[in-house]
């Protein structure tokens, strides 16, 4: 077993474990709130601590553009800059290769971006992406990769995989911050054979963890579940398995069942800002007229501040009035839902009843109740 990660319990392919980082142990399966610009939108680091978040995610590209990794390093690193004592994982900027297709060019050495901040040309290479993450001082640094579109033709897919492997070899030999772990990224689109081939290439490199990238980028959920269900169990068992950018509660449950340990997604925070609040029976839309005079909390079983203190009627008013407080309360609730979901999943795996747990959760989400289940 790895000195950085140990599997503690298994139930079928699902498993619990512990990831040892420079800023504390992280119990898995775990959901990582997304803090793109050194903040989980509308929440303080104290809010995240109160929710029980163990690890959060920062964005290498965005932090390098603003305020700059040199400034953050001068402030004592990302943890001190944002006053967060838990673990931080930073992505490498590789997803921007995908998301900013009209603002970048790729060559063998790296990627040239047009900055979304001021339009200036910026450059990311495997070496500079790792140097930025070293300056930020994150606990986990992701390798720089090329994420192709989900519908890319086989030739484009193969070239992206080959380049990602070459870049990964450059990433593993670049200097790192003290105690910093590194994860490699597996590409391959929805082609399971390609995924397996690329997994073999990335797994043989000395990364402390392995991630699946390039999913939940437009393919149907059932296709994504099939890919994860086939590939995740083949990922190295002695290293943490990370499914990047996924996703809905159903996706987390399916990923855990396949043996995934780590997740991140903007869905709980973004949906909160748009009035979409997660509840055991699916979700509710706080903008619906039925909530304008509803004295009930969002979820009577939830212990977040929004549910302990405020009614749906009050949250409906805040949302309609575009009051800033709404965004904080809604985000607290949705993240509490996600963190509770993975915590209960850990408990179900330890108890040996994960399949029953999933059936019960999906029955509520997809079958009964809710005013508009997904």
Query: Which superfamily does 5-265 belong to?
Result: Queuine tRNA-ribosyltransferase-like (3.20.20.105)
Which residue is listed with tokens 């590939």? 231
Q: State residue 221's pLDDT score.
A: 96
Q: State residue 270's pLDDT score.
A: 98
Looking at beta carbons, which pairs linking 45-51 to residues 24 or more positions away fall under 8 Å?
45/82, 45/83, 45/84, 45/85, 47/328, 47/332, 48/84, 48/86, 48/335, 49/85, 49/86, 51/304, 51/332, 51/335, 51/336, 51/339
Cα–Cα dist 81/135, whole Å: 12
Phi (first) and psi of residue 203, to 5 degrees: -65, -25
Q: State residue 98's pLDDT score.
A: 67
Q: State residue 368's pLDDT score.
A: 45
pTM for the full predicted model:
0.96
Cα–Cα dist 183/144, whole Å: 10
As given in the structure block, the two tokens for residue 179 are: 């105690």
Cα–Cα dist 285/274, whole Å: 9
Show pLDDT as tens, one digit a residue, over the chain (374 residues).
Answer: 689 999 999 999 999 999 999 999 999 999 999 999 999 999 999 999 999 999 999 999 999 999 999 999 999 999 999 999 999 999 998 887 667 777 889 999 999 988 888 889 989 999 999 999 999 999 999 999 999 887 789 999 999 999 999 999 999 999 999 999 999 999 999 999 999 999 999 999 999 999 999 999 989 999 999 999 999 999 999 999 999 999 899 999 999 999 999 999 999 999 999 999 999 999 999 999 999 999 999 999 999 999 999 999 999 999 999 999 999 999 999 999 999 999 999 999 999 999 999 999 999 998 644 453 32
Q: State residue 370's pLDDT score.
A: 46
Which residue is listed with tokens 């079928």? 12
Question: What residue ranges do the domains of the chain occupy?
Answer: 5-265, 271-366
Cα–Cα dist 117/196, whole Å: 38
Q: State residue 1's pLDDT score.
A: 60
Q: State residue 95's pLDDT score.
A: 80
Dihedral-angle region of residue 93 (phi above 0 means left; psi in -120 to 50 means alpha; beta otherwise): left
Cα–Cα dist 60/138, whole Å: 10
Which residues are identified as catalytic?
Answer: 91, 264
């Amino acid at each position: 077993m790895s000195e950085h990660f140990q599997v503690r319990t298994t139930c079928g392919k699902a498993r619990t474990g512990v990831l040892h980082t420079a800023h504390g142990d992280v119990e898995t399966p775990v959901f990582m709130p997304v803090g793109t610009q050194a903040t989980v939108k509308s929440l303080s680091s104290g809010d995240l601590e109160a929710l029980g978040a163990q690890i959060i995610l920062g964005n290498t590209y965005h932090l390098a553009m603003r305020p700059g990794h040199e400034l953050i390093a001068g402030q004592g690193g990302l943890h001190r800059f944002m006053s967060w004592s838990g673990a931080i994982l930073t992505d490498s900027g590789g997803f921007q290769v995908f998301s900013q297709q009209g603002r970048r060019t790729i060559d063998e050495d790296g990627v040239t971006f047009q900055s979304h901040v001021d339009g200036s040309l910026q450059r990311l290479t495997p070496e500079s992406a790792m140097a930025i993450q070293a300056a930020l001082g994150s606990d986990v640094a992701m390798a720089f990769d090329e994420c192709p579109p989900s519908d890319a033709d086989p030739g484009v897919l193969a070239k992206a995989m080959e380049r990602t492997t070459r870049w990964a070899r450059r990433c593993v030999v670049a200097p790192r911050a003290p105690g910093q772990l590194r994860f490699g990224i597996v590409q391959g689109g929805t082609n399971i054979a390609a995924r397996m081939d690329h997994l073999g290439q990335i797994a043989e490199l000395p990364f402390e963890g392995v991630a699946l990238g390039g999913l939940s980028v437009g393919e149907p959920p059932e296709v994504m579940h099939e890919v994860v269900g086939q590939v995740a169990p083949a990922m190295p068992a002695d290293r943490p398995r990370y499914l990047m950018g996924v996703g809905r509660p159903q996706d987390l449950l399916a990923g855990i069942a396949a043996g995934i340990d780590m997740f991140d997604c903007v869905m709980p925070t973004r949906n909160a800002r748009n009035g979409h609040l997660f509840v055991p029976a699916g979700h509710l839309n706080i903008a619906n007229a039925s909530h304008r005079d509803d004295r009930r909390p969002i979820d009577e079983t939830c212990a977040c501040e929004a549910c302990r203190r405020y009614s749906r009627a009050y949250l409906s008013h805040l949302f309609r009035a575009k009051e800033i407080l709404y965004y904080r309360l809604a985000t607290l609730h949705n993240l509490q839902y996600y963190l509770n979901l993975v915590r209960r999943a850990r408990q179900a795996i330890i108890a040996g009843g994960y399949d029953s747990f999933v059936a019960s959760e999906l029955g509520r989400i997809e079958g009964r109740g809710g005013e508009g289940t997904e």
